[in-house]
Amino acid sequence: MRGWRAALAVLAIPGALACTQRAASDAGTVDWRVTGGSPGNTRYSALDQINRRNVGRLKVAWIYHTGDLPADGHSEIQATPIVVNGVLYTTTPALAAIALRAASGTLLWRFDPFAHRARESHVNRGVVHWADGGDRRIFFAAGRRLYALDAQTGHPIPTFGDSGSVDLGVGLGRDVTDAYLVSTSPGVVYKDILIWGTRVGEEEGAAPGHVRAYDARTGKIRWTFHTIPWPGEFGYDTWPADAYKTAGGANSWAGMTVDTARGVVYIPTGSASPDFYGGDRLGADVFANSLLALAATTGKRIWHFQTVHHDLWDRDLPASPNLVTVMHNGKRVDAVAQITKSGFVFLFDRGSGNPLFPIEERAVPASNLRGERAWPTQPYSLTPAPFARQSITEADVTPAERRRFRSLRHDGLFTPPSREGSIVLPGFDGGGEWGGAAVDTQTGVLYVNASDVPWIAAMREVARIPIHTGVPRTGAAVYAGACAACHGVDRRGHDRAPSLSGIGARLTPEQVFQIVEYGRGFMPSFAGLPAEEKRAVIEYVVGKRLTEPLPASTAHPLQTSSPYEFVGYERWRDSAGFPAIRPAWGTLSAIDLNTGEYRWRILLGEHPALAAKGGLATGAEQYGGPIVTAGGLVFIAATMDAKFRAFDKTTGQLLWETSLPAAGYATPSTFGVRGRQYVVIAAGGGKLGTKSGDAYVAYSLP
C-alpha cells in the first residue's frame, strides 16, 4: 500500500488536458471535442460539478428524439456525441448527421446523406470536428462515402472531394466495387490531416483494410499504409506470396488515437479474411490484429505489436487505445494501453513500443482442419491479469448444457475452430469491445467493462452453390439452403444475423437484391445464385411477388477456394435463453496501470428476465464503454437492462442509476455549457433482443 500511495501522490499533478479543461470551466464552457474526450482517447473529464456527493440528484435536462426509426422499429445508435463551443454533433439511426444546442437539445441542422441515393444501413459511432480559423468542418461517414460538412450549416463543403465527399473505396490498390466497405467509427485529425479507417467484409474476397490519410481541406489522399504489405514492405514475408492482390481485412474499424505532441497516430487493426479459416493466408499475417504506431504526417511505421498471430477467432483489436502516463520502475513513462476481446490489457512505452509489463509467447493448440496451420504460439500479457474469463470447465457450465460441453472442443483460449464446434471464451464480441476503456489521467487507473459469455466456432464443408439446369428451386428452398443457418428458420435472426421479419416494409426489393448480390457486413455475396432463384428468395423474404424485373447482375460470383465455411455466429445459451455459463456475465473493473493490480471489480448490469423474478445479481452482456471524471465518478450505460449508472471511481460503489427509454449501447460524454455540467448518452437499443430507440438523453443537476 505504501508504494501505491507514493505513486498516487506523484500522479496527482494535473496534466495539460486537465489544466485546459479547468481553464475552460472557469469560462463556463467545457467541450468534449472528440469521441474519446481528448485526442489521447482518455475518456476523462476534469469537470467536477457533478460529483460523489450530489450525483444522486441528477435529473433529465433534455431528450432529443431523432424521429427516424425504420418502419419495423429496429435500429441502433452507437454514437458518442461530441460538443464544440456549446454545439453537440452526432448521428441518428438513419445515419443522418445532426447538430443540437448542447444545453437544450434543440435541433440546429440535419444532413441526410441518402437524400439523393439509395439508403444504406449500418451503425455509426460518431463524427469528427476540424477547424482552421473560420473554416469549421464536421467529418462523418455513411456507407462508403466520407463527408465534409460546414459545422455551422450542415451543408457539404463543395471543394472537398467530389462536391463534399470522397469514396472510401478509392485508393486501395485494387477494384473493390463488388466488396462490402463502409465506415462505422470516426477517424482522427492531426493538423490538416484526416486519418480514416473502414469496416470491410469478413469473408473470402473481402476488401483490404489499408488505412488512408486525407487532406482535410481537399479530400485528396496524403498517404496510405498497407495493412496487407506490398512487395518490399515490412511484413510482406508473413503472408503467402502476392497475398496483397487478393487478401482482405486487416482493417481499422474501431477508431484511432493521436499523440498530438509526438505527431504519432496509434491504430488498432482487425483480423484478416476469411475470419475462421486461414488455409489460404498461411503465416503470421502482419499487420492484422496489430497495434500500429505511425507518423501522422507520413504514415511511416514507427513500431507495431501483433496481439494475435494468424487469427482464426475474429480477435480484432476492438477499441481505440488509451494514452496515459504511468509510474514505471520509479519513472514517469508516457504509455499507450490497448484492451482486447480476449480480456488482455497490453501496455507499451508510447515512443519505443517496448512492453511495460511482461508478455509471454505460449504454445497453443493445433488445428484439426485440413489445410489449416494455426500459429504455434500466441502472446499472453501476464500483467494485469485478464479482465474477462478465458477458460471454462464442465463445472462452470449450467447442468443442462454439460452434455453439449463434452461434445465441444475446448483446449484453452486459442482453441481453433473445428467441425465439432469449439468454445470461444470470451466470445466473438469480447471481453473488451468497441465501447473501449477510460483512464483517469490523474491516477493512471483504467476502467474497462467486459462480457463473459461463451460463443461457439463451428466449421463445415463448403456447400457449393449447385448449377441448376432443370427447374429452379423455390424461394423457401433457397432460403433453407443458403440463409436459414444464420437468419433462422423463422427469419427472426440469430446473434449477429439480423431479423428478416418485416424486411419488405423497410427495404425495397431492389435494396434486398443489392444485399444478396454484393453481401453486407458478415453476410457474403450470393451473386452466384441463378437469376430465377435470386428472384424467388427475394420474393420469399419480402413476402410479395415482384412486378418489376430485378436489375441485371453486375457482381462477380465469389470464387470460394476454402474447403470449410463458418456455420454461423452462435452465443452459447441454455434452453431458457440465458448464457450457458454460470455468472458473472458482465463486469466493470478498475485496473491500476502503474502496478498492474486491480483496484476493484464489480458485476455490471442485470438480466431483465432474472431481475424481474428477484433473482441473484448476474451481470449482463454489454456494448458501450465508460467515462471517468474529476468528480470521482465513472459513468456507464452499456447493459441490456437499459440502465445508466454512476459509480464511485475509487471504490466501485453504485451511487446513481436511472432507466433509459431504450438500452444505451454507446459510450457517454460529458460537457459544460454556461457553468452547468451535463452528461449525455444515446438510448438506441436494438441489440441483444432489446427494443430500439431514437433518443439522446442529457442529465444535469437541478
Number of independent structural domains in the chain: 2
My answer on whether 4 and 113 are in the same domain is yes
Residue 96 binned pLDDT confidence (cut-offs 50, 70, 90): very high
Reading the block at residue 442, the C-alpha cell is: 490523474
Question: 462480457: which residue's cell?
Answer: 451
My answer on whether 50 and 145 are in the same domain is yes
My answer on whether 509 and 632 are in the same domain is no
Evaluate whether residue 326 is within a structural domain: no
Helix (H, G, I), strand (E, B) or coil at 137: strand
Q: What is the pLDDT of residue 557?
A: 61
My answer on whether 532 and 605 are in the same domain is no
Q: What is the pLDDT of residue 73?
A: 78
Residue 542 binned pLDDT confidence (cut-offs 50, 70, 90): confident
What's the domain range around 531?
Answer: 463-559
Evaluate whether residue 59 is within a structural domain: yes
Question: 440535419: which residue's cell?
Answer: 110
Enumerate residues 6+ apart whose C-beta is below 8 A from 574: 398, 400, 401, 580
Question: How far apart (Å, rounded) are the C-alpha atoms in residues 560 and 206?
Answer: 12
177-186, 218-227, 590-599: segment of lowest average pLDDT? 177-186
For 273, phi and psi rounded to 5 degrees? -105, 155
The DSSP code for 30 is: B
My answer on whether 22 and 123 are in the same domain is yes
My answer on whether 41 and 150 are in the same domain is yes
Angle at 19 between CA 33 and CA 49, to 5 degrees: 75
My answer on whether 23 and 133 are in the same domain is yes
Q: Percent of the chain having pLDDT more than 90?
A: 76
Mean confidence (pLDDT) of the chain: 91
My answer on whether 64 and 139 are in the same domain is yes
Q: What is the pLDDT of residue 522?
A: 66
My answer on whether 639 and 524 are in the same domain is no
Q: What is the pLDDT of residue 16?
A: 35
Residue 481 has pLDDT above 80, yes or no: no
Query: How confident is the model over 487-498, as pLDDT tens digits?
Result: 877 777 766 777
Residue 327 binned pLDDT confidence (cut-offs 50, 70, 90): very high
Residue 615 binned pLDDT confidence (cut-offs 50, 70, 90): confident
32-36, 425-429, 459-463: segment of lowest average pLDDT? 459-463
My answer on whether 605 and 694 are in the same domain is yes
Residue 25 has pLDDT above 60, yes or no: no
Q: When comparing pLDDT for 502 and 699, which is higher?
A: 699
CA-nearest of 304, 286, 287 to 295 is 304
Residue 534 binned pLDDT confidence (cut-offs 50, 70, 90): confident
My answer on whether 8 and 83 are in the same domain is yes
Domain boundary among 525, 559, 593: 559
Residue 400 has pLDDT above 80, yes or no: yes
CA 4 to chain centroid, in Å, comes to 33
Query: How confident is the model over 251-295, as pLDDT tens digits?
Result: 999 999 999 999 999 999 999 999 999 999 999 999 999 999 999
Evaluate whether residue 158 is within a structural domain: yes
Average pLDDT over residues 662-688: 97
Evaluate whether residue 446 is within a structural domain: no
Residue 471 has pLDDT above 80, yes or no: no
CA-nearest of 373, 423, 369, 410 to 564 is 369
Reading the block at residue 588, the C-alpha cell is: 466493470
Q: What is the pLDDT of residue 516?
A: 80
Q: Percent of the chain having pLDDT more than 70?
A: 92
Average pLDDT over residues 432-440: 98
Average pLDDT over residues 7-12: 29
My answer on whether 654 and 604 are in the same domain is yes
Question: How far apart (Å, rounded) are the C-alpha atoms in residues 490 and 500?
Answer: 9
Please report, for the domain that includes residue 482, its CATH number.
1.10.760.10
Domain boundary among 559, 577, 596: 559
DSSP E strands in 36-121: the ranges are 44-45, 59-65, 82-84, 87-91, 97-101, 107-111
Query: How confident is the model over 356-393, as pLDDT tens digits?
Result: 999 999 999 999 999 999 999 999 999 999 999 999 99
Domain boundary among 559, 593, 617: 559
Question: How far apart (Å, rounded) are the C-alpha atoms in residues 623 and 637?
Answer: 9
Enumerate residues 6+ apart whose C-beta is below 8 A from 117: none
Evaluate whether residue 395 is within a structural domain: no
Question: How far apart (Å, rounded) are the C-alpha atoms in residues 459 and 420?
Answer: 8
Evaluate whether residue 55 is within a structural domain: yes
126-130, 335-339, 358-362, 575-579: segment of lowest average pLDDT? 575-579
Average pLDDT over residues 512-541: 77
Evaluate whether residue 35 is within a structural domain: yes
Residue 636 has pLDDT above 70, yes or no: yes
H-state helical runs in 226-365: none
Please report, for the domain that includes residue 651, its CATH number.
2.140.10.10
Q: What is the pLDDT of residue 206?
A: 93
Query: How confident is the model over 163-172, as pLDDT tens digits?
Result: 999 999 999 9
Helix (H, G, I), strand (E, B) or coil at 556: coil
Q: Widest CA span of the chain, in angstroms?
A: 81
Residue 14 binned pLDDT confidence (cut-offs 50, 70, 90): very low
Question: How far apart (Å, rounded) are the C-alpha atoms in residues 448 and 378?
Answer: 23
CB count in 10 Å sphere of residue 328: 18
Evaluate whether residue 512 is within a structural domain: yes
